[in-house]
Amino acid sequence: MKTHTSAFKTAIKEYGRELDSIITYEHDTETIELGQEELNSLTPSYEGSILKSVMKQLIIDSNVEIPIDTEINFQFGVKVRDEDVEDYRDNYDYVSFGSYIVKETEMNEDTLSYTIKCYDKMLYSMKDYEALDITYPITIRNYINAVANKLGLTFKNANDTFPNYDKVINDELFLSRETNIVEEEGQEPREETTYTSLGYTYRDVLDQLAQVTASTICINEEDDELELRYINDTEDTIDEEYLKDTNVKFGDKYGKVNSIVLSRSGESDNIYLQNEESVETDGLCEIKIVDNQFMNFEDRSEYLPDILDQLDGLEYYINDFSSTGIVYYNLCDKYSVIRDNTTYDCIMFNDEILITQGLEENIHTNMPEDSETDYDKADKGEIKLNKALLLVNKQDNRIEALVQSVEAQEEGLGTLTNRVETNITSTEASINAIQNTLTNGVETLKNQLITIDAENGITVSTDQDVIKTIMNNYEFSIRNGETKLAYFGYDSEAGETKAEMDNLTVQEYFVTGYHRFEKFDVDNEQRTGVFYIGE
């Protein structure tokens, strides 16, 4: 919750409440304060959920223009006292909404006011991801700390333990990697690795880190630090006194969450971890995490226990209601609403506060998107059961297709490799790679019997066989080693087509030159004749 007084909580719902808003910022070494005279309206808002990063927004209608990139601070107050004071604000209690950065400003010609759009410091993450100043391997916690430092932020949880905080990242995940041998005169050849963008932003990376840490990543309102925020049970209850008499909906209950699924390869490769007792009692409620780069390798099942620990049992009511104004709840606060003698446990994920001459607050929590995992085809760990799957290795620009039997030591493998372009987004790279394979074929395909390569074309032969069949654009031949047992093709040395074999059996006839050799019967006598047929 935002820090607030009990007097604030009482006064905010009273008839005849009096409101105040303050925007402060520095401009040319001077502290500017905008109040009721300058501010026409303010609308702070955010849209969030678990397992993602959230950026808060503030839209101001002001008679005074604030320069772009200015850092402003916003406070909202309610009159709680009626004492004879010199400064009227001494009779008000305020809550802080934190700092915002001015991103856009537009003049309204009709009202001669300015519409100013601001965002909190999560705005700093809306830029292309670049290599961090770290060495691998590195823990998740230190990695997040490095990301925060790169954005000019302080990581609030730098010394805390949280889900998967100690898991290790072994190499760069969000840049394409190319290693070349560099040879310089007088020096030993050395490897040089260069990285190019895969189109990720730091915000994308934070979204994936939110999944790894089973949290919501946001900017803390009090100290502007990057925070891994978890559901905070405020134990606070509001009743119908805080609700408007229109647009009040409390619907289904979501949860209890009892299954976490990690999915990759076009959602064809799933592993999961469940609270099986809860699944039995309460029914399955899964959260599926798709294509997370941190949890994309052989160790991904190790991430599941911490995530399930954190989210197991999560439940809340879906809601959509307009309030006369609460204001002091924060993102991820759990609170209760009493309506018609029924208590609804809710979590604050989406909020919009309309501050004009009056106050209105619109709150809603949506049902998360349904995911359906075919658990018959999913695993509890990294054991592939007669699987065929595609793994997209974005960093090395490679797609690996694996077909592997359950007897893990058998190597009945077919592999294909192909190149992908390196200067496009990871999603485009995956799609283009598959399209490229479908359109242009592959350079090499091999299984137990057939090998396709650029040199010979199609070779049909097992590794144990001596006899093999070769087919390409100029020959079809059956060989014993290098000896041709049968050959049909074009002899480029002789410049002519040929058919060669040790034995040839013709059932009916064959033509050579101007003659035809053909079998026929005369008076039940079987004969073979040579007949002149001409041109």
Partner 1 sequence: MFVDKDSIIINGVNMGQYITEAKFSFNKLWSSDSGRNLAGTQSGTLIGIFPKLVLQFRKLTKTELERIVPILDSPRQTVSYYDPRKRDNETMQTYTGDYEITDKTIISGTKKNEGFSCSFIATKKRV
Q: How far is the CB of 39 from partner 1 (least distance, A)?
A: 14
Strand (E) positions, 366-474?
Answer: 387-393, 398-404, 415-416, 445-446, 450-453, 457-460, 467-471
**Minimum gap (Å) between residue 240 Cβ and partner 1:** 4
Binding mask 288-327 for partner 1 (x = CB under 8 A): ------------------------------------xx--
**HSE-up of 223 (CA within 13 Å, CB side)?**
8
Residue among 468, 479, 521 nearest 502 (CA): 479
User: CB 14 → partner 1: shortest distance, Å?
Assistant: 7
- 530 forms beta bridges with 517
- Cβ distance to partner 1 smaller for residue 11 or 307: 11
Residue 425 DSSP class: -
Binding-residue pattern over the window 82 to 111 for partner 1, x denoting contact by CB under 8 A: --x---x-----------------------
Give residue 408's identity as a one-letter amino acid code.
A
Q: For residue 343, which amino acid is it? A: T
Q: How many CB atoms within 10 Å of residue 220?
A: 18
The structure tokens 């490229």 sit at: 436
| Omega of the bond leading into 256 within 30 degrees of 0 (cis) | yes
Nearer to partner 1, 356 or 462 (CB): 356
- Rounded to a whole number of angstroms, the minimum distance from the CB of residue 117 to partner 1 is 24
Segment near partner 1 (CB under 8 A); pick from 12-20, 146-154, 161-169, 189-197: 12-20
Cβ-contact 41, 354 below 8 angstroms = yes
Among residues 3, 237, 356, 435, the one that binds partner 1 under rule CB under 8 A? 356
Q: Is 16 in the site for partner 1 (CB under 8 A)?
A: yes
Shortest approach of partner 1 to residue 77 CB, angstroms?
12
Environment class of residue 179 by beta-carbon count within 10 Å: exposed (0-12), middle (13-18) or buried (19+)? exposed
Q: Does 492 bind partner 1 (CB under 8 A)?
A: no
In the bound state with partner 1, the residue whose beta carbon lies nearer, of 98 and 325, is 325
The answer to whether residue 17 forms part of the interface with partner 1 (CB under 8 A) is yes
x/- map, 248-277, partner 1, by CB under 8 A: x-----------------------------
Q: Is the peptide bond before 368 cis (omega within 30 degrees of 0)?
A: no
Rounded to a whole number of angstroms, the minimum distance from the CB of residue 81 to partner 1 is 14
Q: Contact between 359 and partner 1 (CB under 8 A)?
A: yes
One residue of 61, 360, 400, 428 binding partner 1 per CB under 8 A? 360
- Least gap, CB of 80 to partner 1 (angstroms): 14
Residue 451 backbone dihedrals phi, psi, to 5 degrees: -125, 130
Query: What residues from 47 to 76 belong to the interface with partner 1 (CB under 8 A)?
Result: none
Q: How far is the CB of 358 from partner 1 (least distance, A)?
A: 3
The helix or strand, by DSSP H or E, that contains position 433, with its residue range, turns out to be: helix 426-440
Stretch that binds partner 1, among 7-15, 406-414, 429-437, 521-529 (CB under 8 A): 7-15
* CB of 62 vs partner 1, minimal distance in Å: 18
Strand boundaries in 121-174, DSSP class E: 138-139, 168-169
| C-beta closer to partner 1: residue 13 or 398 | 13
Query: Which one, 295 or 337, has the nearer CB to partner 1?
Result: 337
Contact between 99 and 224 (Cβ < 8 Å): yes
DSSP annotation of 534: -
Nearer to partner 1, 66 or 353 (CB): 353
Residue closer to partner 1, measured from CB, 15 or 532: 15
For 464, residues 6+ apart whose C-beta sits below 8 A from its C-beta are none
> Do 174 and 293 form a contact (C-beta atoms < 8 A)?
yes
Q: Which of residues 211-250 bind partner 1 (CB under 8 A)?
A: 239-245, 248
Q: Which residues contact 132 (CB under 8 A, 6 or more apart)?
A: 143, 146, 147, 150
- Identify which of residues 210 and 337 has a Cβ nearer to partner 1 in the complex: 337
Report the residue number, 35 or 412, with the smaller CB distance to partner 1: 35
* C-alpha–C-alpha distance, residues 188 and 184, integer Å: 7
CA angle 168, 172, 173 (to 5 degrees): 90
The single residue among 8, 9, 19, 308 that binds partner 1, judged by CB under 8 A, is 19
Binding site for partner 1 (CB under 8 A): 13-19, 84, 88, 239-245, 248, 324-325, 339, 356-360
